[in-house]
A and B are shown apart, each in its own frame.
Chain A
Amino acid sequence: MEYLMAKIELSNISHTYNPNDTNPTYALNPFSMTWENGKRYAILGPSGCGKTTMLNIVSGLVRPSKGKILFDEHDVTDLITEERNIAQVFQFPVIYNTMTVYDNLAFPLRCRNFTDQKIKERVKSVSDTLRLSSFLNSPARKLTADQKQLISLGRGLVREDVAGVLMDEPLTVIDPDLKFRLRRNLKEINEQYKTTLVYVTHDQNEAMTFADNIIVMDQGEIVQVGLPKDLFEKPRTTFVGYFIGSPAMNLFRSEILSDNSIKFNNGTIKTKTDLSKIKDKNVKFGIRSEFIKIATDQKENIVSVKVTRVEDFGNFKLITGKAGDLEIKSKVEREIPISTEELKLHLPAEKCCIYSNEMLVN
């Protein structure tokens, strides 16, 4: 039985690669998640955080140590890859060396007994999208690395009825210009065919521009699932704040002073967060450098810093300053003149995030 265009549900999944040890180390800690049909998801996280394991569990290459996978409410945990109707693209091109480009692209369809007519049609459509049409009859092994990766990608996209296309950093070997176009193509394919796309990456820009929903992972743990905007403005943990955004979020050790203010350097910073329920007075305070502006006539939340470095990125300037021992970064428009000595920065209260035990306080 095949599951076409399905909602994918991961229920209480966890996985360890050494289940027989007395203290198994978990590549994936227990989690549950649902991938709606037809949406684009990006899984974002540093290397070794369990992204690939998660994909392999969904495609059936790895059987989870615990938990269930449901495609449209049907339990597929025990089904082998072949029976799951999933497409997966790996980080490095995997091509069938002995076949032509056409045969490579047609292979997934042939395995599933599509008619020649249908195969021709699909291969043509996919090869047009990926600009492989002129190579269709050449042996696949003669192509360059990025063309080979396009073939891998093409094999993933050639079946339009799949439950999902899982991509494991598929564009690593492709040059930036083509990368940009391909990402847009993937989006178009998703919009046109309503194929669920899951995209693993460690590049936040890729994730942000590609996905409806971003899943941030760290050390086998799902730390936050949300829209790009949420991840940027309200990172749920300090890790997300640190990992998302360039530069990383400004994070400082701090102490709670009152129900809505904390200590910063020798001054006080007001926040919109209710801090009355937190027992541990030691917290972390985070703010995006994008939200820190040079103070004009504000009265509160002013920090005066000694400028140590100004970097011009062309479209903005990045100011690094020191307030006491604390280093603070601020992104400002490049037209604004910056005094090289002292600077007063304004930290808007509504943009301040407070973290207790590395978790965001709401």
Chain B
Amino acid sequence: MEKLYKFLKYTFIILWTVFIVAPFLWAISTSFKDFQSVNSKVTYIPWLDFEPTLEGWRVLVKSPARGGVDIVEPYFNSLFVTCTASLISIVLGTLAAYALSRFTFKAGFVRNNDITFFFISQRIMPPIVLSIPFFIFLSTIGLLDSLIGLVVVYIVLLMPIAVWIMVDFFNRVPKELDETALIDGCNPYQAFYKVVLPNSIPGLIVAGMFCIIFGWIDFFFAFILTFTEVQLLPVKVVALNSSITPWWSLSASALISVAPLIIVAFVVERYLSKGNLSGALK
């Protein structure tokens, strides 16, 4: 029974791994192919089936002259916008979430839960509803087609995620923890950053991860709110496509687009697998 279970478990893991890894292998292989190797017959293994070339990658860096698109600058733009917006969202979101979790607010009929829902409702709305308001807003304050403008918009998109995750997380941290810190001699601010915050690292990581993912992959606002001055990676990757699909450069760009998320996943995984994600204080 034990053995059967183990067998099934490992079989499943292997199948699942193949399922996850195969597209990457396919993309890696394709990124080193040229027109011939993609379009003539099916090829798999470099040197044996086809002659690898760096053409697909070169197109991404060296630019329009050879029919490619320069994605280096958009890449760093995307990194900057995503990281800045995520960081600000996490800081503001965590503070808001802590307040919502620990204090009681009252404004007319509005209570804590209503405020939390207000944040979450920002994500319930289809983004397209926001496109025109955002466009008009940014153009009014002169931030259309600029990095700062994008950061502002992404904060609006990401902060609800941070608030949502952190409210839930703080609610599961017993208030006795804060109270104990107060009794031990902290003032309320010290209690927050010396005791509650270190205990909330798993929550912060999860929230940060979601912010980074949602920020990084957003195409819609990056497409609508930028023109020529500033461009973000997803928009530029799409721009790679042309009448003859350049599978090689698309594969290469897909790989380097995914790279940061893979790195984040590996870093985060260490914290998540420690088993203290649940915030178990009892």
Chain A interface (Cβ < 8 Å from any Cβ of B): 59-61, 80-82, 86-88, 90, 92-99, 107-108, 111-112, 141, 145, 152, 155
Contacts and interface: CB of A to CB of B under 8 A. Distances in A.
Q: Is the interface of B mostly helix, strand, loop or mixed?
A: helix
Given A82-B185, A111-B186, A94 B201 contact: no
A200 B190 CA distance: 28
A180 to B, nearest CB: 24
B275 to A, nearest CB: 9
Interface string B4-30: 000000000000000000000000000
B187 interface: yes
Interface in B115-135: none
Top 5 closest pairs, chain A to chain B, by CB: A111-B185, A108-B184, A98-B198, A81-B182, A94-B180
A94 B281 contact: yes
Contact of B282 (A60, A87, A93, A96): A93
A94 B282 CA distance: 7
Contacts of A60: 182
Contacts of A92: 174, 176, 282
Nearest to B197: A98
Nearest to B182: A81
17 contacts: A61-B179, A80-B188, A82-B187, A90-B176, A92-B174, A94-B179, A95-B281, A96-B198, A96-B199, A97-B198, A97-B280, A98-B198, A98-B199, A98-B201, A108-B185, A111-B186, A141-B280
- Of the listed residues B182, B190, B280, the one surrounded by the most CB atoms of chain A closer than 10 A to its CB is B182
Interface of B: 174, 176-177, 179-180, 182-188, 190, 195, 198-199, 201, 276, 280-282
B190 A111 contact: yes
Contact of A97 (B180, B185, B186, B281): B281
Given A90-B176, A97-B280, A112-B185, 6 more contacts: A81-B183, A88-B183, A90-B179, A93-B281, A94-B174, A96-B199
Contacts of A81: 179, 182-183
